[in-house]
Copies of this chain bind each other. A is one copy, B any other.
Amino acid sequence: MKKRTFPLSKVYGLLETGPVVLMTTAHRGQTNVMTMSWKTMVDFEPPLVACVVSNRNHSFEMLRKSRECVLNIPTVEIARQAVACGNSSGRRLKNKIEALGLTAVPAKTVGAPLIAECYANLECKVVDTSLVKKYGLFFLEVRKAWVAPQKKWPATLHHCGRGQFIVAEKTIRLRSKAK
């Protein structure tokens, strides 16, 4: 999938719909990937994101130590791989990205890889760890964004729990003063 640099000022529009993301990390020669739904925008520009990573996840220590990650946004075409991601741990599966049949591509500003099959990739630095101990809450600043130009709206996945997802397909437009 060919990707273009995406303006940082527009990143909020990719995340505030609530899509499942695949968070990739890299630390000491190992890479990992986990599925994540618990995240929110916190500020527009530079884009600031808060996300929850449980300390039971292998990615927790990788994120805490490397202080970097990529948020990759999958669409329904790779739904099976996105879910498989959450069904196995990087603790046992060393090359999880490749094992799932996904392709790791080097990022520009962070050590964590981009997942080529995802329609958008957000390179992030951890900028605030004050609530990591209490809630597993990390604040990420998006430093670089990539998006594949789409013919129609990307069919993102939105997790309802226990493997049930809604798929973003129909869109509507209403007059709004909102950003």
| Chain A residues engaging chain B, CB cutoff 8 angstroms | 10, 12-13, 16-19, 35, 37-43, 48, 50-52, 76, 79-80, 83, 86-87, 130-131, 135, 137, 139, 153, 156, 158-179
Report the Cα distance A43→B38, complex, angstroms. 9
Report the Cα distance A164→B171, complex, angstroms. 7
Report the Cα distance A38→B50, complex, angstroms. 10
Contact A87 B176 (CB under 8 A): yes
Number of chain copies forming the complex? 2
Contacts of A176 in B (CB 8 A): 83, 86-87, 162-163
Contact B160 A178 (CB under 8 A): no
Contact B158 A17 (CB under 8 A): yes
Output the nearest chain B residue to A167 by Cβ-Cβ distance: B170
Contact A40 B35 (CB under 8 A): no
Report the Cα distance A51→B41, complex, angstroms. 9
Report the Cα distance A166→B176, complex, angstroms. 14
Q: Identify A40's interface contact among B52, B87, B165, CB under 8 A.
A: B52
What are the 6 closest A-B residue pairs judged by CB atoms, nearest first? A18-B18, A163-B176, A13-B161, A17-B158, A40-B40, A166-B168
11 extra interface residue pairs, beta carbon distance < 8 Å, beyond A18-B158, A37-B41, A166-B171: A13-B161, A16-B160, A38-B40, A42-B135, A83-B174, A87-B176, A87-B177, A130-B130, A160-B171, A161-B179, A163-B176
